[in-house]
Amino acid sequence: MAENGPQRPWQQTAFEVATEAMFVVDDDGRILQSNRAARLLGAAPLPETLPKLSSLTEETSFTIGFRRSKGDTVQISLRCIPNVAPGTHLLIAKESVDERVRMLSRALEQTADLVLITNRDGRIVYVNPAWEAATGYSAAEAIGRSPGMVQSGQHDDEFYAHMWQTISAGHPFTAEFVNRAKDGTLFHEEKILTPLKDEGGTVTHFIATGRLVDERRRLEERLQQVHRLESVGQLAGGVAHDFNNLLTAIQANVTLALSDIGSDHEVVEDLEDTLRAAKRAASLTRQLLAFSRQQVLEPVVLDLNEVIRDARRTILRLLGADVELTLSLADGVDFIKVDRGQIEQVLVNLAVNARDAMPEGGTLGVETCSVDIDAEVGQRLGTGPGRFVRLSMVDDGTGMPPEVLSRVFEPFFTTKPRGQGTGLGLSTVYGIVTQSGGGVIAESTPGRGTRFDIYFPRTEERPRRVHSVHAPSPGETAQQTILLVEDEPTVLRSARRVLRRLGFSVLEASDARSALSLLSSTDKHVDLLLTDVVLPRMNGRELAERVRADHPDLKILFMSGYTGDVLAERSSLPVNMPFLQKPFTPATLAAKVQEVLHTHLDAD
């Protein structure tokens, strides 16, 4: 059999077609010849692990190391027939290629993963029992057909085009597929499609290996995400509350200081910078509160298309000249009941996110339609099924990998360079939408762009015409007395200064008991109780109830660094009571106080 020994044709043929892997080696273990089965084995004996072959006189067995084509080593048992020709020995692997094939076949047949193999034309040549069980189709029904036989219609043509483009180029493709079984039911499958290549590197087949995604696990993961976001939201809300108290005092004191000095004073510029910084900080706390779903919302019935058209100019300015904006707004979309300002914030934040994903330019599409969502989609959204208005914003930018996509709604998470983003843009969107009773789904593929689908519940209500309220003149504040209750000294002092500057007489207290004592002992007629909600020992609501028992006509205005919605949920704030959100400016405080007094005067 050796090249240096005589061979008959039939011997050479038998050697070549034998199912056992055979190697002809010299005394030093160098391979002189190998058969087809040995080449299929994809490994070669390591000479240094062989015994001294020249000393062998009879057939013997041993286990030696083989180096595989990938570089790793494996132990294989051999039979050695020494001296088949002078200085030449025959090594025969005890494990035949047939046995390896049978082992691999058993693995495919018995694995719980769904396995499907197609030829280069995309026709099925093999499916395993797990695939048959999941789809309901037998192998006989599947072989010769296209894998499209289980398509559900949940993926668009671009998805499949990208898949075929990827695997045809010799690269694996990984995605979650929603497929349809023979009985019409849908099943989710995490699947990887891999090209199979021959020895020359030519793609001959494609193998798809998938695993069913357990719906319970999907729900558990979503629940964990919700709990994680809620925990961060609670922390953010608490920080925002304390921060709002500080900002209230800063904004009030700086504003009053600016009004007390001339415009040419040397510190004016410094004070104005401080005020601008405070306003930016106030904007940051609003975003934190929006993410934590603790923002004050003023929902009104809206036509979403109208809001988008009104915001079009703003969005265009944000996008710049390199990004094209396209609107596809369905006629007759249902009305929604949301806070208009918050919806505009959603549009702006998503537009900025899209712009940043298209540094070389591109297209941002804004679409609307009314949709009925089923229980499955409603479960994914966390809203339940029903009738919704869908806002879609689609860009063709850089897209996001799965590890980034899974974290886009987390506060302070950003992929932008340091100093170029707060990481609150998309978390703000999440907070606004969920607080409005809706849900959001983000989908993205690297290199192919990102899609955000926002769902708002429809309302049967119709838009109402809003009438403005005439504010009283400054003279109406004369002789009016306000009882101010605030446990934060800096806020108490700054609010007192603002109110007195407006012409009000101010009585002040740092807690509820002091306020009750002051109210019972003063000779003045108190027109308004302005109280913080969160107070030591007795909160603002309890104080208001005690005051109203003896003074039923007294006007009451609550204020807090927490939002009205959160306080109402905690039963700390009566429903539909006037409320002033911190941080507030002197102008905001003045307007709200006059609004409450004026509204009550009209009612008298």
Q: How far is CA 476 from CA 125, 481, 499, in A?
A: 88, 12, 13
Give me the mean pLDDT over the 280-286 stretch.
64
Pairing of strands 481-485, 528-532: parallel
How many whole angstroms separate alpha carbon 335 and alpha carbon 330?
Answer: 12
Q: Please write the tens of the pLDDT for every residue from 287-311.
A: 555 544 444 456 788 999 999 998 8
Pairing of strands 186-197, 203-212: antiparallel
CA 430 to chain centre: 9
Give me the mean pLDDT over the 491-519 stretch.
90
The answer as to whether 468 is a domain residue is no
The answer as to whether 554 is a domain residue is yes
CA 317 to chain centre: 27
Q: Point out which residues pair with 77 in neighbouring strands.
A: 63
The answer as to whether 465 is a domain residue is no
Q: Are residues 253 and 225 in the same domain?
A: yes
Q: Are residues 231 and 337 in the same domain?
A: no
Give me the mean pLDDT over the 169-189 stretch.
89
The answer as to whether 463 is a domain residue is no
Among the listed residues 348, 225, 331, the one whose alpha carbon sits nearest the alpha carbon of residue 283: 348
Map residue 577 onto helix, strand or coil.
coil
pLDDT of residue 219: 58
Q: Are residues 518 and 491 in the same domain?
A: yes
How many whole angstroms separate alpha carbon 98 and alpha carbon 107?
Answer: 14
How many whole angstroms separate alpha carbon 585 and alpha carbon 19?
Answer: 88
**Tokens for 373?**
């969502």
pLDDT of residue 99: 63
What would the DSSP string read from start to end of 30-70?
-EEEE-HHHHHHTEEE-GGGS--GGG--S-EEEEEEEEETT
How many whole angstroms separate alpha carbon 438 and alpha carbon 383?
Answer: 6
Answer yes or no: are the C-beta atoms of 60 and 80 closer than 8 Å: yes
- Categorize the per-residue pLDDT at 5 as very low, low, confident or very high, splitting at 50, 70 and 90: very low
Record the pTM: 0.41
* Higher pLDDT, residue 408 or 470: 408
Q: Are residues 414 and 311 in the same domain?
A: yes
Q: Are residues 144 and 240 in the same domain?
A: no
457 pLDDT above the threshold of 90: yes
Q: Are residues 420 and 370 in the same domain?
A: yes
- Categorize the per-residue pLDDT at 369 as very low, low, confident or very high, splitting at 50, 70 and 90: very high
Q: Please write the tens of the pLDDT for every residue from 51-105.
A: 888 888 899 888 888 887 667 777 888 889 999 888 999 999 876 555 666 677 7
The answer as to whether 135 is a domain residue is yes
Cα angle 552, 555, 558; round to 5 = 120
The answer as to whether 69 is a domain residue is yes
pLDDT of residue 573: 62
Map residue 395 onto helix, strand or coil.
strand
234 pLDDT above the threshold of 60: no
* Higher pLDDT, residue 400 or 271: 400
How many whole angstroms separate alpha carbon 73 and alpha carbon 44?
Answer: 9
- Categorize the per-residue pLDDT at 174 as very low, low, confident or very high, splitting at 50, 70 and 90: very high
pLDDT of residue 208: 94
Q: Point out which residues pair with 456 in neighbouring strands.
A: 389
Domain range enclosing 263: 217-291
- Categorize the per-residue pLDDT at 328 as very low, low, confident or very high, splitting at 50, 70 and 90: very high
Q: Are residues 323 and 351 in the same domain?
A: yes
20 pLDDT above the threshold of 70: yes
Q: Please write the tens of the pLDDT for every residue from 114-147.
A: 999 999 889 998 899 999 999 999 988 998 999 9
Q: Are residues 583 and 441 in the same domain?
A: no
Map residue 136 onto helix, strand or coil.
coil
pLDDT of residue 485: 94
Q: Are residues 487 and 341 in the same domain?
A: no
CATH code of residue 320: 3.30.565.10
467 pLDDT above the threshold of 70: no
Q: Which amino acid is at 70?
A: K
Give the total number of structural domains in the chain. Answer: 5
CATH code of residue 146: 3.30.450.20
CA pseudo-torsion sign 467, 473, 474, 477 = negative
Q: For residue 154, what is the DSSP state? A: -
Answer yes or no: are the C-beta atoms of 56 and 25 closer than 8 Å: no
CA pseudo-torsion sign 336, 341, 343, 347 = positive
Q: Please write the tens of the pLDDT for every residue from 416-442.
A: 554 444 456 687 788 888 888 899 999
Q: Are residues 90 and 189 in the same domain?
A: no
Q: Are residues 117 and 194 in the same domain?
A: yes
Q: Which amino acid is at 509?
A: A
CATH code of residue 541: 3.40.50.2300
The answer as to whether 369 is a domain residue is yes
Q: Are residues 192 and 271 in the same domain?
A: no
The answer as to whether 92 is a domain residue is yes
Give me the mean pLDDT over the 559-564 stretch.
71
Domain's final residue, options 213, 237, 259 = 213
Answer yes or no: are the C-beta atoms of 355 and 336 closer than 8 Å: no
pLDDT of residue 380: 82
CATH code of residue 240: 1.10.287.130
Q: If you average pLDDT over every residue of the chain, what do you get? A: 80
pLDDT of residue 366: 96
How many whole angstroms separate alpha carbon 478 and alpha carbon 505?
Answer: 8
How many whole angstroms separate alpha carbon 466 and alpha carbon 327?
Answer: 28
- Categorize the per-residue pLDDT at 368 as very low, low, confident or very high, splitting at 50, 70 and 90: very high
Domain's final residue, options 423, 457, 491 = 457
How many whole angstroms separate alpha carbon 107 and alpha carbon 8?
Answer: 40
